[in-house]
Amino acid sequence: MKVERLTPIEYDDLVLPQGYSVSEESLWLFTEEENTFRKEVRAFLDREIAPMTKQFEKENVYPRKALQLIAKRGYVSHPFPREWGGLNDGNGITKDLIVSEELAAVSPVVSTARVAAMLSGIPICRFGTDYQKEEFLRPLLAGEKIGAIVITEPQVGSDAARMQTTATRDGDHYIINGEKRFITNGGEAEVNTIFAITDRNVHPHKGMSCFVVERDTEGFEVLEYFELMGMRGARNGYLRFKNMKVPAKNLVGKENEGFTILLDELDIERTVIAGEAIGHARRAYEIAMEYSLLRVQFHQPICNFEAVGFKLAEMHTKIEAARLLALKAARLIDAGRPATKESAEAKMFATTMSVEVCNEALQILGGIGYTTKFPIEQYYRDARMMKIAGGTTEVLTYLIARELIRDTKKKRKSMEQ
């Protein structure tokens, strides 16, 4: 006997079983230790971070406390070596991918702030001096300081090599002038990993440098915090550096080798952003699945209708495919192998998939999905940013094509010899 539900379905009515999130087939792709780690991360986030999330969205509150709790738990530390406060045991990027997915499913804004903080430490870790690692990296990983990676400018986005910000050597200091915008954590972060041009007489690839700059440095100005379509609670800053005097000991790596440092960071950035996109899509899928089981029309749950069931099937398949691509890129990076094409593929596919899945989830919920009664509309807005941040979909598509053509030419040349 079919029983029609007459009362409206509230978000609190939904039960989101873990089985919706990561299927048994996906779990086989991870080690037993990694699967245990995922469960630990999820339990911590549900207990400590989930209760805060409504405040971030409703009141546009910057999630500093959440970021500190996450860092103290070690969830910023897995890509970094233990000697500087990290937790890398050979699968650091894979574990960070897990953190990115799980945290983005709970709070997209905390996730994007965490990733920005983590990425600010990558150049310091891989190219910095012991002084820089002790002074900046260690407190960042401990949650004592927040980080930001500072690249994008008002006139320079995808073509990062053409940046206009300059750094001129003056004795034991560099004088930095320029503007940066769309900087996640910009203005909030105490540790800022900044890229600038140090030699205008050569190609930007050979004339860029990297610096770590403290927020309270004289000449460091915050012009504006952008109000965003989504990611409420984020601080997306427009920064100006006006004759900012930075000690030469804060130069990361060698002078004019900043472009190499920048490229080194991008593969990790794109991989973990793919993980975030999977988290956004996964939560939207979970909500849509559970809602479709409870929502009754024509005397039966709407999941029984092919128009809904087929959507759910496609949504789940896309999430699984995105996770495979992201995991492949993470494994390559952990193994010390190049992952330029793979990380670009993961981000391009996952971020596009995420917007599509959130859109379909909203459609399944119908009118209630368009209201703020359910968080689907928030995840839809938050997911949309990921097709822009860290490399636009268009640029990544170009990059993938370039890598594929280059690899094919090499193979053809090798066969002809």
Do 240 and 115 share a domain, yes or no?
no
Mean pLDDT over 42-47 rounds to 95
Q: How far is CA 143 from CA 73, 191, 209, 267, in A?
A: 9, 12, 27, 24
Do 281 and 369 share a domain, yes or no?
yes
Q: pTM for the whole thing?
A: 0.94
Its domain, for residue 366, covers 11-15+260-406
Do 402 and 264 share a domain, yes or no?
yes
Do 96 and 223 share a domain, yes or no?
no
**Chain segment 369-405, per-residue pLDDT in tens:** 999 999 999 999 999 999 999 899 999 999 999 999 9
Q: Which two tokens stand for residue 42?
A: 């999820």
**Chain segment 95-137, per-residue pLDDT in tens:** 999 999 999 999 999 999 999 999 999 999 999 999 999 999 9
Domain boundary among 213, 234, 257: 257
Supply the CATH number for residue 174's domain: 2.40.110.10
Residue type, 200: R
Domain boundary among 257, 280, 301: 257
Do 116 and 166 share a domain, yes or no?
no
Tell me the torsion sign for CA atoms 191, 166, 158, 265: negative
Do 213 and 265 share a domain, yes or no?
no
Q: How many domains does the chain have?
A: 3
Domain boundary among 146, 177, 199: 146
Degrees, nearest 5: CA angle 8-10-11: 155
CA distance 317 to 319: 5
Q: What is the pLDDT of residue 1?
A: 43
Whether 290 is covered by a domain: the verdict is yes
**Chain segment 202-248, per-residue pLDDT in tens:** 988 899 999 999 999 999 999 999 999 999 999 999 999 999 999 99
Q: What percent of the chain has pLDDT over 70?
A: 97
